[in-house]
Amino acid sequence: MTKIKKNNWIGFLLILIIWAIVHSIAGFTEKSKNTDSPKSQVETTQKTIKKSSEDLTWFAKFQCEKEIKARIPSAKVHFRQDNYINGNSYTVYGTIDGQNAFRAMVRQNFGCEIIIDQENDKFWIKDLLIE
């Protein structure tokens, strides 16, 4: 009986030693991965923050469509390909198919200007003109 208890303790100690070795190796490799210079870490985060103008045009279209549908719930929005980009100002154009008060489908043109402030992660719709 004492021999069985002694073997259990030896097995337990062996497992504990193996566990400690594995965790120390894993911790060492993780630390070596994080030894990049702070400069390179800052550069990679700055690269992910900057969006291309195509991504921001898509975002401008999405936000303008949300605003149009908030004003005209039955609206079907169609964007044209001609967009105007000036710095952080994105203007998108298109047409809206929506119902009027008599439930007739009416097509209207629109222009929507949105300002996107990437540095502060903010945006606002400056102007939405529906003709």
Per-residue pLDDT reduced to its tens digit, 28-39: 555 555 555 455
Specify whether 27 is located in the same domain as 65. Answer: no
**How far is 20 from 15, CA to CA, in rounded Å?**
9
Half-sphere exposure of 66 (CA within 13 A, CB side): 9
**Average pLDDT of 107-121?**
94
For the chain, counts of helices (H) and of strands (E):
3, 5
Residue 83 parent element (H or E): none
Residue 56 token pair: 């921001």
82: which DSSP letter? Answer: -
**How far is 119 from 78, CA to CA, in rounded Å?**
30
Q: How many domains, in total, are found in the chain?
A: 2
pLDDT at residue number 41: 46
**Average pLDDT of 34-57?**
58
pLDDT at residue number 113: 97
CATH number of the domain enclosing 60: 3.10.450.630
Q: Which domain holds residue 12?
A: 2-35
Q: Per-residue pLDDT for 43 more than 80?
A: no
Specify whether 85 is located in the same domain as 27. Answer: no
* 43 belongs to a structural domain: no
pLDDT one-digit tens code per residue, 55-102: 899 999 999 999 999 999 989 999 999 899 999 999 999 999 998 889
Pairing type for strands 76-79 and 84-86 reads unpaired
**How far is 52 from 50, CA to CA, in rounded Å?**
7
Specify whether 121 is located in the same domain as 92. Answer: yes
Question: Hey, is 47 helix, strand or coil?
Answer: helix
2-6, 79-83, 103-107: least confident range: 2-6
Q: Per-residue pLDDT for 20 more than 90?
A: no
pLDDT at residue number 42: 46
Specify whether 59 is located in the same domain as 122. Answer: yes
